[in-house]
A and B are shown apart, each in its own frame.
Chain A
Amino acid sequence: MIESCLNISNASFSYGDKTVISKVSQAIGKGVLYGILGPNGCGKTTLLDLIVGHKKLSAGLIDYMGKPIRKISKPELARHVALVSQNFYINFPYTVMDVVMMGRYPYIPRFAAPSETDFKVVEKVMEITEVARFQNHLVTELSGGERQRTVFARALAQDTDVLLLDEATSNLDISHTITLLDIVKRRVRKNGLTVISVFQDINLAAVYCDEMIFMKNGKIAASGQTDEMMDESLLEEVFHVQSEIRFEPGYQARQAIFKTGTH
C-alpha cells in the first residue's frame, strides 16, 4: 500500500452559481506520477489551483499529510507544493536567474540575501533544465519555450515534495518535452516526488504516468492505473472519440490510435 500524501475529499468549488468542481474525492499517493486528463473546461486547472491554495474550496477538504491545507501557512505550503502554470507572461525585465531564484523565496527570510545552499540549488536546477545557457537573458525577451523552461526551473528550485504541472509542456517542442518529463520521472523514482500533471496528449500521458485521472464536467469520471485507463470504451465515454488501443513495446505502454475523418 502506497503512503497517501494528499487527500482530496468531497472538494467542491463554484464561481457564483456556476459549479466548476463538484464533490471530487481522490487519494494521491506519495512518489506517484498522476496525469489528469479531460475535455477543455472540465475543471482540471481549478483542481490544481485548489490544491496549491490559490483558490478556496467552497466545500469539502484537501489534506496534505493529514493536515487541511487551509490550516497550513502559505510560506509553509510553498515549501511542500509547487505549481508550473501554462500561460505565463512577465511584463518586467527580470533575468532568468532572478526568476529561478524566486523559487527560493519561501526559504529565504524577508530581508536576507540568498545563502550558499540557495545558490547551489538554483545553479543545479538551471543546469539540468538547460536554462543555464541563457540565465542572464531577460525573461521578456525569451521565446515561449525558453520561458516555459524557466518557470519549470523556478518550480524545481522550490524543492517541494509535490509538483503540480498545468500543461507545463504545451509550449515545448518534442525534444524539450521529453527532457522535461524525463527529469520529472527521474525525481519521482529517485526522490519520491509526487507529481500531478494536466495533459492534453493522452498518448504522452500514457507513456509517463503511473496513474490517470479522467475528469468530466467538474467530476472525476474514472481513475486508476494507466493500463486500465487506456480503454477504448472509457476514452469514448470521456472524450467522445473512437480509438483503437495497442500495446507499444518500445514504450512498454498502451497507446491510442484515434479514428479521424468521421465528422
Chain B
Amino acid sequence: MRPSKNGCFLILTRNPLFTKVYRKLFDLLNISDMAINRYNHQIARSRIITENMVLVIILFILVTISAGLGYLRIPFMDVLQIVTGTLLNSSDFLRHIDEISKTVVTDVRLPRILSAAVVGAGLALSGAVYQGILLNPLADPFTLGISAGAAFGASVAILFFPFFNIYVLPAFAFAGAALTLFSVIFLSSGRTFARDGLSSNSLILSGIIVSSILSAGISFLKYVADEQVSVIIFWLMGSFASKTWLDVGIVSLVVFTGFLIIYYFARDLNVISLGDRMAATLGVDTKKVTLCLLLTASFVTAVCVSVSGIIGFVGLLVPHMMRSYSGPDNRRLLPVCFLAGAILMLSADTVTRALLPVEIPIGVLTALIGGPVFCWIFRKNQIRARA
C-alpha cells in the first residue's frame, strides 16, 4: 500500500522521540516499511528545498532585526527600506530615513552582522566535514590544530608588527593555519602511520601533537609580549567588532566557494563516513576526495579564524544538533548546517553586541553557552545508548 500524501509524520521519522509513536501508527494503518522508505526518498528533494527556504527566511529576518538593535534603535521597516534602497541604489526608499541611521546600518552594523553570519556558516560547514572524514561525531576545526595554527600566526603578527595589524594579522593567521594543515597532513601520511591514505586516527593524533606545540608557542609569545599581551589575549577570545565590507567580501568568497566544492563531494562524504575501506569498494577515490575535502574545510576555517579570532563550539555543536534533526546524509546535512551556523553565530553576536550591558568577547560567549549545552546533549546520548 502506498502512503497517502499527507504523511507529515514522516518528517519526524528521524526523531527518536516520535519513533515509537509513528511505528505504532503505521502498524495500525498497515503501511509497510518499504512504502515508508520509498516515500521518504521520493519527498527528500522537496523537503530539502523547503527546510532550507525556511532557514533562509529566518536568517533574513534575524539580519534585519539585528541591524535595528543597538545603542541607536532603528525600526524594522526602516532597516528594510535602507537595505532595499541601497541595493537598488534608489533614493525613493531612503526619503524618510535620516543620514545617521543609514550610515549606522550600512557602514557599521551590516558588515559586522554579515561577517558573523558567514563565519558561523563556514565554521559549521567545516565542522560537519571534519566529523564525516574523521569518522567521529565529536571532531571539529580544533581537532586538527587548524585554529591553533591561525592563532599562533596572529600572535606573531601582533607581536612583531603592532602597527600594521589591519592587513598583516589576517595574512599571518591564514599562513599559520595553512602551515599547520600541511604539517598535520605530512605527519599523518607518512609511511609509519598509513601508507594507503589519511587514516582518521593518525590525523587526530597529528592534530593533537601539532596543536600542543602551537599552544606552547602562543604561551611563550604571550610571555615575551609585554604591552601587546592584552591585544593577543583579546584577539584569541574572538570578536566581530569593527569588521569592514572588505572582511565580509573576503570571507564570503572563500566560504561560498568552499560550500560549492564540499557540496559536490557530499555523497562521497556519506560513504567515507562509513570507513575508507567501505568507501574504496563503492568506487570513491578515498585519498583524493579526503584530501580535497580536508583542504577546502581547512581553508574555510583558516579564513574564518583570521577574520574573527577563535570562536569555539560552533563547528562542533551545529553539525551535532542538526544531525539529530536532518539525519546523517550529508546532501541534506551540509546546507542545513551552513544556514544554522549562520543563524546561531549571528544570534550570539547580536546578544553580546546589543542586548548585554557589556560586550563579552563572542568566543567566550559561545564557549560558555555551547559547552554546557554540549555536555547536556552528550550525556543524554550516553544515557540513551546505555538503555
> Which residues of chain A have a CB within 8 Å of any CB of chain B?
15-16, 49, 52-56, 73-79, 81-83, 85, 88-95, 97-99, 101-103, 105-106, 110, 113-114, 119, 123, 126, 132-133, 135-136, 151, 155, 158
Give the residue name and chain of the A residue nearest to B271 (CB). Answer: A102
Q: Is the CB of A105 within 8 A of B282?
A: yes
Q: Is the CB of A74 within 8 A of B196?
A: no
Residue from the list B44, B135, B195 in contact with A91, Cβ < 8 A: B135
Q: Is the CB of A123 within 8 A of B34?
A: yes
A83-B132 Cα distance, complex, nearest whole Å: 22
> Which residues of chain B have a CB within 8 Å of any CB of chain A?
13-14, 23, 33-34, 36-38, 41-42, 44-45, 132, 135-137, 191-192, 195-196, 264, 267, 270-271, 273-278, 280-285, 323-324, 327-329
Give the residue name and chain of the A residue nearest to B136 (CB). Answer: A91
Give chain A residues whose Cβ lies under 8 Å from the Cβ of B34.
123, 126, 132, 135
Within the complex, the shortest CB–CB distance from A118 to chain B, in Å, comes to: 9
- 9 smallest CB-CB distances across A and B, nearest first, come from A78-B283, A75-B283, A54-B280, A92-B328, A83-B281, A106-B283, A74-B283, A97-B37, A136-B33
Within the complex, the shortest CB–CB distance from B257 to chain A, in Å, comes to: 18
Within the complex, the shortest CB–CB distance from B89 to chain A, in Å, comes to: 36
Known A-B contacts A85-B277, A92-B273, A110-B267; A77 and B283 likewise in contact (beta carbons under 8 Å): yes
A74-B272 Cα distance, complex, nearest whole Å: 14
Give chain A residues whose Cβ lies under 8 Å from the Cβ of B132.
92
Known: A91-B137, A105-B284. 4 other contacts (CB 8 A): A77-B283, A92-B274, A101-B41, A119-B38
Give chain A residues whose Cβ lies under 8 Å from the Cβ of B273.
91-92
A54-B278 Cα distance, complex, nearest whole Å: 9
Q: Is the CB of A114 within 8 A of B41?
A: yes
Within the complex, the shortest CB–CB distance from A94 to chain B, in Å, comes to: 5
Between A and B, 23 residue pairs with Cβ closer than 8 Å are A15-B191, A49-B277, A53-B280, A54-B196, A54-B277, A74-B280, A74-B283, A75-B283, A78-B282, A89-B135, A93-B14, A93-B328, A102-B270, A102-B274, A110-B267, A113-B41, A113-B45, A136-B13, A136-B33, A136-B36, A155-B281, A158-B281, A158-B282
